[in-house]
Amino acid sequence: MRYALGGWCVGGITTVQSGTPFTVGNGYDRNGDGLLQDRPDIGNPNSPLDTRAIIVPTCPTGYQNPDTGSCVSPGQVPWVEGTGFPNASTVGRNTLHTGGTNNFDLNLTKSIPVGERRRLELRWEAFNAFNHPQSIQVPPMEVFTTPPGQFLNRNFTDSGIRTMWVQAKVVF
């Protein structure tokens, strides 16, 4: 019984963090200064966050949602492709946040004596043991250049997966 029940160790690390702020991008140089860090304009902040409008002159409204292919007005989406210099309706910096981290790493170790001076150590480690999605990466966020269906879609980020290791060690 002593060999079966003795020699166990359990350890772990927990990380809980809020999300990182990020800025939605316009997708092209709207003011002609050679920098691509320009931001889009705000349409309707109460509409679904993953909707957007780009300029398409063939639409009666002048705008199209590239994810659905339908013509929309700026009042139907929160992110509107901006042109010219930034103005009062241009989106501010760091307006959105990633999902954050909720991570538990665990390890379990069993030490088994082998003779008087030696022992066998068996170790199991699990990183992200409960397999929580770790939404720490910024999803595709360019209004003009993000492919259809990917704009602010967390499915196109690395959400963190569970990994496990098993190790054996002889200590002498």
Identify whether the C-beta of residue 78 lies closer than 8 Å to the C-beta of residue 42: yes
Can you tell me the distance from the alpha carbon of 79 to that of 64, in angstroms, rounded to the nearest whole number? 12
Can you tell me the distance from the alpha carbon of 141 to that of 24, in angstroms, rounded to the nearest whole number? 5
H-helix segments, 109-157: none
- Residue 48: per-residue pLDDT: 94
- Residue 122: per-residue pLDDT: 96
Structural domain harbouring 120: 2-171
pLDDT tens track, the chain, 172 positions: 777 788 899 999 999 999 889 999 998 899 988 888 899 999 999 999 999 999 999 999 999 999 999 999 999 999 999 999 989 899 999 999 998 888 999 999 999 988 889 999 999 999 999 998 887 888 899 999 999 999 998 888 877 789 999 999 999 9
Pairing state of beta strands 63-64 and 71-72?
antiparallel
Can you tell me the distance from the alpha carbon of 6 to that of 60, in angstroms, rounded to the nearest whole number? 76
Instruction: Give the chain's domain count.
Output: 1
> What pTM was computed for the model?
0.71
| Tally of helices (H runs) and strands (E runs) in the chain | 1, 11
Tokens of 79: 């992110």
Tokens of 149: 């269906």
- Residue 10: per-residue pLDDT: 96
